[in-house]
Structure 1
């Protein structure tokens, strides 16, 4: 199933968190931090401007992005955890 966001929203899938520390210690699920990076799966039409046109997104589908820790809404669709973010929640594109 494809999730199509509205307006200036984006659908992002978080990257997997590290299972081990740099020293080789295995981390249980409860001790892992949520990664702040993800892959953009889908983008909305863009922000509606006062003149009725839409501003294009700065990110595209497939981009790897960095976002704020507690931003967006986490949803589960087809047993897959996804984030729906505002375009303003994206801090950077990783190239």
Structure 2
């Protein structure tokens, strides 16, 4: 399922959801070689956090904050997430618990 909206600013994740822009597929290596499209069939396993929700209620009813913040680089699963298209850009919304890791630079 894919959703199309006009402005990314109008999209605010709820609860423990995280809006992520996946890294672009590499079409050319650093040395200048072009990669065939078959090599680019799977999306890159990383992305940038664009927006986060406030968190979800825990077992005790208190809000548990999301573990990432805007601007973080994260490692993502190869599947899942709700797709959102804004113009030509594609984003995905994941639950906080689906994010595999935070990539420190």
Give me the TM-score of the superposition, normalised by structure 2.
0.78
- Aligned residue among 39, 42, 50 for 1:41: 50
> Residue 75 of structure 1 aligns to a residue in which SS?
strand
- Aligned residue among 74, 77, 93 for 1:84: 93
> Residue 88 of structure 1 aligns to a residue in which SS?
helix
Q: Which runs of 5+ in 2 are unaligned?
A: 1-6
Deviation (angstroms), 1:30: 5.2
Q: Which segments of structure 1 move beyond 6 Å, counting only runs of 4 or more? A: none
> Residue 97 of structure 2 aligns to a residue in which SS?
helix
Give me the TM-score of the superposition, normalised by structure 1.
0.85
Paired position in structure 2 for 1:7: 15
Superposed CA RMSD: 1.9
Paired position in structure 2 for 1:56: 65
Q: Which runs of 5+ in 1 are unaligned?
A: none
Aligned residues: 95
Deviation (angstroms), 1:45: 1.1
